[in-house]
Amino acid sequence: MIIIRMYICVCNAITERQVRACVDAGATSLDDLQFELGVASCCGRCAGTACEYLPGGRASSICEIRDVTMPVKPAVILAEQGQAANGSPLPAAAEAA
């Protein structure tokens, strides 16, 4: 079995897999990569390449970070508006109750 490793930081022997794993674990800046892995902490020539793996970078597996939370309306407000929690109108029997 042949294992191919692409080194991002030769000074500290940091591989592409390590950088990707760090980004997948939540690293969002070069400071995060430097703190976790030591990337770009010696000569600094790898900083540009390492940044390409961060969210939004050319080699990133994460295209965009979005907030996926949705505001929740209390049931009382929904009932007053005649809506169910999923946005559908309430049936006539539920509105009379």
Question: Angle, to 10 degrees, between the axis of helix 16-24 and the axis of helix 30-37?
Answer: 110
| Same domain as 58, residue 20 | yes
| Same domain as 44, residue 14 | yes
| Same domain as 45, residue 13 | yes
| Same domain as 93, residue 62 | no
How many domains does the chain divide into? Answer: 2
Q: Looking at residue 31, which CATH number applies to its domain?
A: 1.10.10.1100
Q: 49 by DSSP, 3-state: which?
A: helix
Residues 6+ apart with CB under 8 A from 26: 32
Q: How confident is the model at residue 79 (pLDDT cuts 50, 70, 90)?
A: low
The token pair at 79 is: 């009932």
The dihedral region occupied by 74, where left means phi > 0, alpha psi between -120 and 50, and beta the remainder, is beta
Nearest Cα to Cα of residue 28 among 6, 60, 71: 60
Q: What is the pTM of this model?
A: 0.59
Residue-wise pLDDT for 16-55, tens only, equals: 999 999 988 889 899 999 999 999 999 999 999 999 988 8
